[in-house]
A = this chain, B = another copy of it.
Protein backbone atom coordinates (compact mmCIF):
# COMPACT_ATOMS: atom_id res chain seq x y z
CA UNK A 1 0.00 0.00 0.00
CA UNK A 2 1.65 3.11 -1.15
CA UNK A 3 -0.21 5.44 1.15
CA UNK A 4 0.33 3.37 4.25
CA UNK A 5 3.44 5.49 4.48
CA UNK A 6 1.42 8.62 4.04
CA UNK A 7 1.31 9.33 7.74
CA UNK A 8 5.03 9.61 7.83
CA UNK A 9 5.04 12.23 5.15
CA UNK A 10 2.89 14.85 6.80
CA UNK A 11 3.36 18.49 6.22
CA UNK A 12 6.27 20.27 7.78
CA UNK A 13 4.60 23.01 9.70
CA UNK A 14 5.98 23.52 13.15
CA UNK A 15 8.43 26.16 14.16
CA UNK A 16 11.49 23.97 13.99
CA UNK A 17 14.06 24.03 11.25
CA UNK A 18 12.98 22.21 8.16
CA UNK A 19 16.00 19.97 8.44
CA UNK A 20 15.18 18.98 12.02
CA UNK A 21 11.57 18.30 11.16
CA UNK A 22 12.59 16.15 8.28
CA UNK A 23 15.13 14.24 10.34
CA UNK A 24 12.46 13.68 12.93
CA UNK A 25 9.93 12.37 10.47
CA UNK A 26 12.41 10.13 8.76
CA UNK A 27 13.66 8.63 11.99
CA UNK A 28 10.07 8.10 13.06
CA UNK A 29 9.47 6.23 9.85
CA UNK A 30 12.45 4.04 10.67
CA UNK A 31 11.37 3.35 14.22
CA UNK A 32 7.84 2.68 13.05
CA UNK A 33 9.06 0.13 10.61
CA UNK A 34 7.73 2.01 7.63
CA UNK A 35 11.33 1.92 6.56
CA UNK A 36 12.88 -1.39 7.41
CA UNK A 37 16.51 -2.27 8.10
CA UNK A 38 18.46 -2.68 4.91
CA UNK A 39 15.76 -1.03 2.89
CA UNK A 40 16.73 1.72 0.53
CA UNK A 41 15.44 5.17 1.17
CA UNK A 42 13.89 7.21 -1.60
CA UNK A 43 16.45 9.26 -3.45
CA UNK A 44 17.32 12.66 -2.11
CA UNK A 45 15.60 14.25 -5.06
CA UNK A 46 12.45 12.24 -4.43
CA UNK A 47 12.39 13.09 -0.74
CA UNK A 48 12.97 16.77 -1.38
CA UNK A 49 10.15 16.81 -3.89
CA UNK A 50 7.80 14.92 -1.60
CA UNK A 51 8.40 17.26 1.32
CA UNK A 52 8.57 20.32 -0.86
CA UNK A 53 12.02 21.34 0.32
CA UNK A 54 15.35 21.73 -1.33
CA UNK A 55 17.90 18.99 -1.59
CA UNK A 56 20.15 20.80 0.87
CA UNK A 57 17.61 20.28 3.62
CA UNK A 58 17.31 16.62 2.79
CA UNK A 59 21.05 16.17 2.77
CA UNK A 60 21.51 17.83 6.13
CA UNK A 61 18.72 15.74 7.60
CA UNK A 62 20.29 12.58 6.23
CA UNK A 63 23.57 13.79 7.64
CA UNK A 64 21.96 13.79 11.08
CA UNK A 65 20.52 10.32 10.65
CA UNK A 66 23.88 9.10 9.46
CA UNK A 67 25.51 10.50 12.55
CA UNK A 68 22.89 8.78 14.68
CA UNK A 69 23.70 5.49 13.04
CA UNK A 70 20.21 5.13 11.61
CA UNK A 71 21.28 5.07 7.99
CA UNK A 72 24.32 4.53 5.84
CA UNK A 73 24.87 6.13 2.45
CA UNK A 74 26.77 4.76 -0.47
CA UNK A 75 27.84 7.08 -3.20
CA UNK A 76 26.21 6.34 -6.48
CA UNK A 77 23.96 3.77 -4.89
CA UNK A 78 21.72 5.34 -2.30
CA UNK A 79 21.01 5.59 1.40
CA UNK A 80 19.92 2.57 3.36
CA UNK A 81 18.40 1.98 6.75
CA UNK A 82 21.04 0.55 9.07
CA UNK A 83 20.82 -3.12 9.79
CA UNK A 84 20.19 -2.74 13.47
CA UNK A 85 18.88 0.76 13.97
CA UNK A 86 19.83 2.35 17.24
CA UNK A 87 18.24 5.09 19.23
CA UNK A 88 20.22 7.40 21.42
CA UNK A 89 19.27 8.91 24.68
CA UNK A 90 21.32 11.95 25.50
CA UNK A 91 21.44 13.56 28.90
CA UNK A 92 22.85 16.93 29.63
CA UNK A 93 24.42 17.42 32.98
CA UNK A 94 24.61 21.16 33.52
CA UNK A 95 27.85 22.21 35.07
CA UNK A 96 27.98 22.34 38.85
CA UNK A 97 24.30 21.54 39.08
CA UNK A 98 23.67 19.67 42.28
CA UNK A 99 20.03 19.42 41.38
CA UNK A 100 20.80 17.50 38.19
CA UNK A 101 22.72 14.89 40.15
CA UNK A 102 19.80 14.45 42.52
CA UNK A 103 17.41 14.00 39.62
CA UNK A 104 19.69 11.45 38.05
CA UNK A 105 19.82 9.58 41.33
CA UNK A 106 16.06 9.38 41.27
CA UNK A 107 16.12 7.87 37.84
CA UNK A 108 18.84 5.46 38.79
CA UNK A 109 16.81 4.39 41.78
CA UNK A 110 13.85 3.63 39.58
CA UNK A 111 15.90 1.36 37.38
CA UNK A 112 17.96 -0.34 40.06
CA UNK A 113 14.99 -1.15 42.20
CA UNK A 114 13.36 -3.00 39.37
CA UNK A 115 16.65 -4.60 38.45
CA UNK A 116 17.01 -6.01 41.95
CA UNK A 117 13.46 -7.27 41.89
CA UNK A 118 14.07 -9.12 38.66
CA UNK A 119 17.46 -10.32 39.81
CA UNK A 120 15.91 -11.97 42.84
CA UNK A 121 13.67 -13.91 40.51
CA UNK A 122 15.92 -14.66 37.59
CA UNK A 123 19.47 -14.80 38.85
CA UNK A 124 21.48 -17.87 38.06
CA UNK A 125 23.73 -19.30 40.71
CA UNK A 126 26.68 -18.13 38.70
CA UNK A 127 25.35 -14.60 38.71
CA UNK A 128 24.77 -14.78 42.43
CA UNK A 129 28.38 -15.73 42.85
CA UNK A 130 29.42 -12.73 40.83
CA UNK A 131 27.41 -10.46 43.07
CA UNK A 132 29.03 -11.98 46.15
CA UNK A 133 32.46 -11.50 44.68
CA UNK A 134 31.67 -7.92 43.73
CA UNK A 135 30.71 -7.19 47.30
CA UNK A 136 33.89 -8.73 48.60
CA UNK A 137 35.85 -6.64 46.13
CA UNK A 138 34.52 -3.47 47.69
CA UNK A 139 35.80 -4.42 51.11
CA UNK A 140 39.11 -5.42 49.71
CA UNK A 141 39.51 -2.19 47.82
CA UNK A 142 38.69 -0.15 50.90
CA UNK A 143 41.05 -2.14 53.08
CA UNK A 144 43.76 -1.48 50.56
CA UNK A 145 43.18 2.22 50.96
CA UNK A 146 41.15 2.77 47.83
CA UNK A 147 37.83 4.53 47.61
CA UNK A 148 36.03 1.51 46.25
CA UNK A 149 34.07 3.64 43.85
CA UNK A 150 34.70 1.43 40.86
CA UNK A 151 33.92 -1.66 42.89
CA UNK A 152 30.74 -0.12 44.26
CA UNK A 153 29.55 0.53 40.76
CA UNK A 154 30.54 -2.97 39.72
CA UNK A 155 28.44 -4.37 42.54
CA UNK A 156 25.36 -2.60 41.31
CA UNK A 157 26.20 -3.60 37.80
CA UNK A 158 26.41 -7.24 38.74
CA UNK A 159 22.89 -7.02 40.12
CA UNK A 160 21.66 -5.44 36.92
CA UNK A 161 23.27 -8.25 35.00
CA UNK A 162 21.49 -10.80 37.13
CA UNK A 163 18.22 -9.25 36.03
CA UNK A 164 18.99 -10.78 32.66
CA UNK A 165 17.82 -7.79 30.73
CA UNK A 166 20.49 -6.10 28.67
CA UNK A 167 18.72 -2.77 28.70
CA UNK A 168 18.96 -2.51 32.46
CA UNK A 169 22.69 -3.04 32.35
CA UNK A 170 23.17 -0.49 29.62
CA UNK A 171 21.05 2.07 31.44
CA UNK A 172 22.83 1.69 34.73
CA UNK A 173 26.21 1.97 33.07
CA UNK A 174 24.98 5.12 31.45
CA UNK A 175 23.79 6.71 34.67
CA UNK A 176 26.91 5.74 36.50
CA UNK A 177 29.10 7.64 34.09
CA UNK A 178 27.39 10.76 35.31
CA UNK A 179 27.14 9.74 38.91
CA UNK A 180 30.62 8.43 39.38
CA UNK A 181 31.75 11.73 40.80
CA UNK A 182 28.83 11.92 43.14
CA UNK A 183 29.48 8.44 44.45
CA UNK A 184 33.08 9.37 44.95
CA UNK A 185 32.02 12.32 47.08
CA UNK A 186 30.15 10.11 49.47
CA UNK A 187 32.97 7.66 49.69
CA UNK A 188 35.63 10.27 50.21
CA UNK A 189 33.70 12.22 52.78
CA UNK A 190 36.36 11.72 55.41
CA UNK A 191 34.36 13.23 58.20
CA UNK A 192 31.75 10.54 58.20
CA UNK A 193 33.62 7.91 56.29
CA UNK A 194 33.63 5.12 58.84
CA UNK A 195 29.98 5.57 59.74
CA UNK A 196 29.01 5.63 56.11
CA UNK A 197 31.06 2.60 55.24
CA UNK A 198 29.37 0.50 57.87
CA UNK A 199 25.97 1.60 56.69
CA UNK A 200 26.80 0.85 53.11
CA UNK A 201 28.15 -2.59 53.88
CA UNK A 202 25.05 -3.46 55.85
CA UNK A 203 22.78 -2.21 53.10
CA UNK A 204 24.67 -4.11 50.44
CA UNK A 205 24.49 -7.25 52.56
CA UNK A 206 20.74 -6.88 52.90
CA UNK A 207 20.32 -6.58 49.15
CA UNK A 208 22.49 -9.58 48.55
CA UNK A 209 20.60 -11.70 51.05
CA UNK A 210 17.25 -10.83 49.53
CA UNK A 211 18.46 -11.68 46.05
CA UNK A 212 20.05 -14.90 47.27
CA UNK A 213 16.78 -15.91 48.91
CA UNK A 214 14.78 -15.04 45.84
CA UNK A 215 12.73 -12.50 47.78
CA UNK A 216 11.84 -10.04 45.03
CA UNK A 217 9.92 -7.51 47.08
CA UNK A 218 12.45 -7.54 49.86
CA UNK A 219 15.24 -6.97 47.38
CA UNK A 220 13.36 -4.03 45.93
CA UNK A 221 12.79 -2.55 49.35
CA UNK A 222 16.43 -2.95 50.28
CA UNK A 223 17.56 -1.11 47.17
CA UNK A 224 15.09 1.68 47.85
CA UNK A 225 16.51 2.00 51.31
CA UNK A 226 20.07 1.87 50.07
CA UNK A 227 19.68 4.49 47.39
CA UNK A 228 17.54 6.78 49.47
CA UNK A 229 20.18 6.74 52.16
CA UNK A 230 22.83 7.26 49.52
CA UNK A 231 21.05 10.42 48.53
CA UNK A 232 20.99 11.52 52.14
CA UNK A 233 24.67 10.83 52.50
CA UNK A 234 25.31 12.83 49.40
CA UNK A 235 23.32 15.75 50.72
CA UNK A 236 25.36 15.67 53.90
CA UNK A 237 28.61 15.98 52.05
CA UNK A 238 30.43 19.27 52.61
CA UNK A 239 29.95 21.78 49.85
CA UNK A 240 33.65 22.01 49.13
CA UNK A 241 33.63 18.40 48.03
CA UNK A 242 31.14 19.24 45.37
CA UNK A 243 33.26 22.02 44.07
CA UNK A 244 36.02 19.56 43.66
CA UNK A 245 33.67 17.32 41.73
CA UNK A 246 32.74 19.95 39.27
CA UNK A 247 36.24 20.96 38.41
CA UNK A 248 37.80 17.56 38.65
CA UNK A 249 37.83 17.12 34.92
CA UNK A 250 41.22 18.66 34.31
CA UNK A 251 43.48 16.17 36.01
CA UNK A 252 42.78 12.49 36.35
CA UNK A 253 41.94 11.90 40.01
CA UNK A 254 44.57 13.46 42.15
CA UNK A 255 43.01 11.58 45.03
CA UNK A 256 45.39 10.32 47.70
CA UNK A 257 46.12 6.68 47.24
A residues with a Cβ closer than 8 A to B are 1, 4-5, 19, 23, 27-28, 31-37, 39, 56, 59-60, 63-64, 66-69, 83-95, 103-104, 106-107, 109-111, 113-115, 118, 165-168, 170-171, 174, 177-178, 180-181, 245-251
Contact = CB atoms under 8 A, between A and B. Distances in A.
Given A33-B246, A107-B111, A110-B110, A86 B95 contact: no
Given A177-B31, A249-B4, A170 B87 contact: no
27 contacts: A4-B248, A19-B63, A31-B177, A31-B180, A31-B181, A36-B247, A36-B248, A36-B250, A56-B56, A56-B59, A60-B60, A67-B68, A69-B92, A86-B90, A86-B91, A87-B90, A87-B178, A88-B89, A89-B170, A89-B174, A103-B167, A106-B114, A106-B165, A107-B111, A107-B165, A110-B114, A111-B111
Contacts of A247: 36
Contacts of A177: 27-28, 31, 87
Contacts of A92: 69, 84-86
Residue from A85, A109, A168 having most chain B Cβ neighbours under 10 A: A85
- The main secondary structure of chain A at its interface with chain B is helix
Contacts of A171: 89, 107
A84 B88 contact: no
Contacts of A118: 106
Given A34-B249, A89-B171, A110-B115, 4 more contacts: A27-B177, A60-B60, A87-B93, A107-B114
B91 A167 contact: yes
A142 B129 CA distance: 51
A249 B36 contact: yes
Contacts of A39: 249
